Amino acid sequence: MSGSTNARSLFARVALAVAACPLALASAAGEAPHMHLPTNAAAHAGEILVRVQARTPAELDRAIDAASSVVSCRPSLARTDLTISPADLARLAQSGVRSEVLHTDVSVLIAQEQAQIAASRLQRGADWYETYKTQAEFEAKIDALAAAYPALVTIETIGNSIQGKPIRMMRITAPGGSTAKPQILFNGCQHAREWVSPATVMFIAEELMSSYGSRPETTAALDGIEFLIVPMVNPDGYEYSWTNQRLWRKNRRNNGNGTTGVDLNRNWAYEWGGTGSSGSGSSDTYRGTSPFSEPETQALRDLIIAEPGIRAHVDFHSFSQLVLWPFGYDFVDAPEPDKSLFEELGTEMSDAIFGHSGFFYDPIRSSDLYPAAGDASDWVYGDQGVFSYTFELRDTGLDGFELPAEFIRPTVEENFEAVLVMSDFVTEPVRVSQTSPEGGFAAPNALVPISVDVLPVFESATDVTLHQRVGSSGAFDASSLSASGATWSGMLTTGACGEAIEYYLEITTDQGLTVLEPAGGAMAPATMAVLDSELGLFDDAEIDTGWTVGASGDTASTGIWELANPVGTAAQPEDDHTPSGTLCWVTGASATSLGSNDIDNGGTTLVSPPMDAATAPSFDQADAYVSYSRWYSNDQGQSPNADEMVVSISGDNGSTWQTLETVRSNANAWVRAEFRVADFVTPSDQVRLRFVASDIGGGSIVEAAIDDVAIDFRGCEAVSACVADVTTTGTANGTPDGAVDLSDFSYYLSLWSAAATTADVTTTGTANGVPDGSVDLSDFSYYLSLWSAGCP
């Protein structure tokens, strides 16, 4: 141990390490010099900062076990910086672990570090979310927001901490609107050391107000919702984590037996006292003497009971990047439909975060993290029926509670996106999902079943009316859907081929609200194309119609495509897809066990013969669709999910290829895939399909099969116009009615006498039905000949 270290040069070295890896020392500091210095450095008094050079993972483990805290972002064999007591360092050295002393008193170092950061902080811009803030600065920020947005926010004190600090709430909404707006509650900082939590909740308040009127989603949220925002439930603990002990978690209750602090997130009454909470005052998860024994949890509880319309809540924590929902006390689900709603909304919020920043917050049930009884969300949901989530903010453990300050802003911003999703949710009285029909096509003059799931959320559906029409003008016809549970069903009626139908649903709730789906109603209805469909080709693979197995570049040694009757395993089908058939294209049909004769060592290629996707047998104009049934399995064995099957299409007999799909989903079942040919290649009579199934990852089990390849055409039958038919029976109106009679003749005569352009049916002197721009005798005699002949 070297006591003769030069403090100045050591400080420079540690500062460098901190710059490259902004961890504990840098983020633990960050306070102006005139405030309490040294802040939480005292807890580290007498600790030595060492750099361990471990020779084996076991040595590194020993060093980390002995450490008071690990400073390096990424502990490595070559170099891991940690703090340690002199006695523990001596023991470590005796056990043979090499280390170099960087500083003999970490608390001095923290103080120096802090002074340096405080100085640089004074020079930086005014971004409040660039550094962590003290409890006093949170107080000041709330006052500043109240002054800046008097029309949007009022400040209330919902209670006092055990040491008498006010627990303050911002009540935020836009002026006007309903007197009974739905409410959302956000709180932060039940846990003191989770510094990014109160920062996030403060940011939500500020962003709601500062982007009101400029961002449409925020504007809608504040117009329709009242937000109750409590950034800091545990001000005493937060303060203590600055002044005394950076990693303090609980409140500051004197437990009377020499221990301090109750874990507020074990103090809520729902299933209080169960798993994951401790009865010992010295524990970090001490639940307290009784449910709601603490003034901090009482304050939040009383608020929730008193407010009339809280529909959703988030309790913000760090770290682990999780979106958690009840229950947390044990592996118990909320009853339906809440269970599904928790999962859906949780996933949507996670998606919104991911969409904004690319950071993934895993949406799971709380108890699947670990069972812990007495948490806030369990009571808020279980006792009060409010959709309550617990968020664990960044990171996933690299820096943990001491998330470097540079990540505050990205963290708070990504979570605001989740807030907007939750805002949408609380204004939806019901959830509409899984509308059928899917696919967007229906046959002419047909009844098409439609069904829709309407889940009750804050209200329930009492009536669902289907509004539909043929074409895009005219009135909508209304009909009632009938309910079976949450599923409402009825029929869409299609008309003539080529005439799309339009429809929307009108849902009436038990509170008398109306919800339209799609939201635009008659202004922006759903549409469905009405077309005939005609089979062009169907290859059921019961005989080989001219397929090619193998291509240059194929390296698979087993599991080569073949036309065969497959032997079923856990990865390979037992039956082909054709109901009446036995054969399909399969990668190695024989098998004695799972993975025997699967694809190994590379790719195997299967190419179809040329197929006609250009000529629809009887349609005027048609769109060709190619479809096939595929089997794909790759989630068993070693390196699961490392492989793929690429399906391509050629419009030029195999000269060039376009990818249709890359199959990675392990359905382990027959799945039908369909594509519109023109979306990929120009439809021709030289269309080929190519299936390349590969084993890329070593040792994996890859099985694929193809069956029932089809080409379908969608369009309308060619209709031969009946030129002589110009009126509906007895009515001179120009609309064909399918019969050629006297009314047609006299109507044509009137058109011809008036020299109407519609009477122009021939070029001069030629009886050919082609208009020439003049209405003369040749037109009349041509019409007469058509009329005499009647319609075909």
Residues found near ligand 0X9 in the complex (CB under 6 A): 191, 194, 265, 317, 324, 328, 366-367, 369-370, 372, 375, 390, 392
* Helices and strands counted in the chain (H then E): 16, 33
438 annotated active-site: no
Selected range binding Zn ion among 191-199, 236-244, 482-490, 545-553, rule: CB under 5 A: 191-199
From CA 279, how far away is CA 136, in angstroms rounded?
Answer: 32
Q: Which amino acid is at 132?
A: Y
Q: Which of residues 315-354 bind Zn ion (CB under 5 A)?
A: 317
235 binds, among Zn ion, ligand 0X9, none (CB under 5 to 8 A by kind): none
Nearer to Zn ion, 191 or 301 (CB): 191
What does the block give as tokens for 757?
Answer: 């352009």
Nearer to ligand 0X9, 329 or 782 (CB): 329
Q: Which amino acid is at 314?
A: V
Q: Give the count of beta carbons closer than 10 Å to the beta carbon of residue 683.
A: 23
Minimum gap (Å) between residue 26 Cβ and ligand 0X9: 22
Q: Are 261 and 252 in contact (CB under 8 A)?
A: yes
372 binds, among ligand 0X9, Zn ion, none (CB under 5 to 8 A by kind): ligand 0X9
Nearer to Zn ion, 249 or 467 (CB): 249
Minimum gap (Å) between residue 83 Cβ and ligand 0X9: 22
CA dist list (Å): 550 to 419, 560, 698, 701:
53, 8, 21, 20
If DSSP codes are grouped into helix, strand and coil, which group holds residue 669?
A: coil
375 binds, among Zn ion, ligand 0X9, none (CB under 5 to 8 A by kind): ligand 0X9
Query: Residue 395: is the preceding peptide bond cis (ω within 30°)?
Result: yes
From CA 568, how far away is CA 703, in angstroms rounded?
Answer: 11
Selected range binding Zn ion among 155-163, 181-189, 190-198, 719-727, rule: CB under 5 A: 190-198
Minimum gap (Å) between residue 272 Cβ and ligand 0X9: 12
390 binds, among Zn ion, ligand 0X9, none (CB under 5 to 8 A by kind): ligand 0X9
Q: Which amino acid is at 764?
A: T
Minimum gap (Å) between residue 157 Cβ and ligand 0X9: 25
Minimum gap (Å) between residue 329 Cβ and ligand 0X9: 6
- Note every long-range contact of 423-427, with CB atoms under 8 Å and residues 24 or more positions apart, other chains counting: 423/184, 423/217, 423/220, 423/221, 423/224, 423/225, 425/312, 425/345, 425/348, 425/387, 425/457, 426/182, 426/183, 426/184, 426/225, 426/311, 426/312, 426/458, 427/182, 427/224, 427/225
Minimum gap (Å) between residue 363 Cβ and Zn ion: 18
Contact flags string 575-614 toward Zn ion, x per CB under 5 A: ----------------------------------------
Nearer to Zn ion, 191 or 467 (CB): 191
Nearer to ligand 0X9, 277 or 633 (CB): 277
What does the block give as tokens for 715?
Answer: 């369009």
What does the block give as tokens for 255?
Answer: 């437990």
Nearer to ligand 0X9, 165 or 317 (CB): 317
Nearer to ligand 0X9, 368 or 679 (CB): 368
Site size toward Zn ion, by CB under 5 A: 3
Nearer to Zn ion, 377 or 587 (CB): 377
Nearer to Zn ion, 266 or 714 (CB): 266
| Residue ranges of E strands in 338-400 | 362-365, 387-393
Q: Which of 330, 340, 314, 415 is nearest to 366 (CA)?
A: 330
Q: Are 564 and 583 in contact (CB under 8 A)?
A: yes
Contact flags string 291-320 toward Zn ion, x per CB under 5 A: --------------------------x---
Helix-helix angle 338-357:408-426, to 10 degrees: 140
Burial group, residue 27, by CB count within 10 angstroms (0-12, 13-18, 19+):
buried
* HEC letters along 208-250: HHHCCCCCHHHHHHHHHCEEEEECCCCHHHHHHHHHCCCCCCC
Minimum gap (Å) between residue 227 Cβ and Zn ion: 22
Minimum gap (Å) between residue 158 Cβ and ligand 0X9: 21
Structural Rg of the chain based on CA atoms: 36
328 binds, among ligand 0X9, Zn ion, none (CB under 5 to 8 A by kind): ligand 0X9
688 binds, among ligand 0X9, Zn ion, none (CB under 5 to 8 A by kind): none
250 binds Zn ion (CB under 5 A): no
Minimum gap (Å) between residue 327 Cβ and ligand 0X9: 8
Query: Residue 792: is the preceding peptide bond cis (ω within 30°)?
Result: no
267 binds, among ligand 0X9, Zn ion, none (CB under 5 to 8 A by kind): none
Q: Which of residues 147-176 bind Zn ion (CB under 5 A)?
A: none
From CA 63, how far away is CA 92, in angstroms rounded?
Answer: 7
Q: Are 210 and 151 in contact (CB under 8 A)?
A: no
Nearer to ligand 0X9, 347 or 763 (CB): 347
DSSP-assigned beta bridge partners for residue 389 = 314
Minimum gap (Å) between residue 363 Cβ and ligand 0X9: 13
Q: Which amino acid is at 346?
A: G
Nearer to ligand 0X9, 324 or 692 (CB): 324
Q: Which of 520, 514, 380, 510 is nearest to 458 (CA)?
A: 510
Task: Give, rounded to a whole angstrom, the gap between the first and last alpha carbons of the chain.
Answer: 109
From CA 740, how far away is CA 786, in angstroms rounded?
Answer: 10
366 binds, among Zn ion, ligand 0X9, none (CB under 5 to 8 A by kind): ligand 0X9
From CA 470, how far away is CA 478, in angstroms rounded?
Answer: 13
Nearer to Zn ion, 17 or 322 (CB): 322
DSSP code of residue 401 = G
Q: Which of residues 57-96 bind Zn ion (CB under 5 A)?
A: none
Minimum gap (Å) between residue 319 Cβ and ligand 0X9: 7
Q: Which amino acid is at 140?
A: A
Residue nearest to ligand 0X9 (CB): 328
Minimum gap (Å) between residue 130 Cβ and ligand 0X9: 23
370 binds, among ligand 0X9, Zn ion, none (CB under 5 to 8 A by kind): ligand 0X9
Nearer to ligand 0X9, 268 or 752 (CB): 268
Q: What are the φ/ψ torsions at residue 317 (nearest 5 degrees)?
A: -130, 175
Minimum gap (Å) between residue 190 Cβ and Zn ion: 6
Q: Which amino acid is at 194?
A: E
- Binder of Zn ion out of 62, 168, 191, 266 (CB under 5 A): 191
Which of the following is catalytic: 59, 207, 392, 402?
Answer: 392
If DSSP codes are grouped into helix, strand and coil, which group holds residue 393?
A: strand
Instruction: Look at strands 226-230 and 526-530 and give their pairing.
Output: unpaired
Which residues are part of the catalytic machinery? 392
- The contact set with Zn ion (CB under 5 A) reads 191, 194, 317
